[in-house]
Structure 1
Amino acid sequence: MVFRGGRVGRPGLLGTMARTAVVAGTARATTNAFDRRAQRRNAEQQAYAQQQEAYAAPPPQQYAPPPQAAPAPGEDDMVAKLEKLGQLHQSGALSDEEFAAAKAQLLS
């Protein structure tokens, strides 16, 4: 066995640098693999969510309420007169008998 003069058992500066480069490269490769896997998983989850939205039931249709029927020409006037009579009765301007008589006259 020939001894060439160097340290035995511990690597030199180049050996340490090479080992550090290997460890750093392995760490970078592992990190990249995890990142790609996470990106792929997120893309699959988004595609699944979009697919579920596409198959979801559409929201119920909102319909406008039907328009109120317009009162006959004489009805609108009669309603206004009845309301005015009611206000007069509530304010005390008309007695119960006067209110009943006026209301009967309008409705007949």
Structure 2
Amino acid sequence: MRRRNNRPGLVGTMARTAVIAGTATAVSTSVSSSMQSSAQAKALQEQAKMDAAVQRAMAEQQAAAPQPQVMAAPAPAPAAPAADDFLTKLTELSKLKEAGFLTDEEFAAAKAKLLG
């Protein structure tokens, strides 16, 4: 609706301002999205280059490394005497108690079980 002097009224001015603001917002969002997509694509390309370089380096390192030789398993050690076994278990119990994993009662019960 036109008012005198060929100028739009208040409602017309508000409508035109809303259209301009909406257009500016749409353009800004589009540009931002486009820039973000471009940055993500660039980051993915860089990551792919890094992955390829790492794989090449690993392949070169593996190719340059000497192949391990297969050795026979060592013969099992002879069985230790029962006294050594008792002392080892008692020492382990003592360490567990000192570390706070066993209470005095639990330590005494385990020691009595070892003593038979």
TM-score range, shorter chain: 0.3 to 0.5
TM (norm. structure 2) is 0.40
Q: Which has the higher helix share?
A: 2
- Structure 1 or 2, whichever has the larger Rg, is 1
TM (norm. structure 1) is 0.43
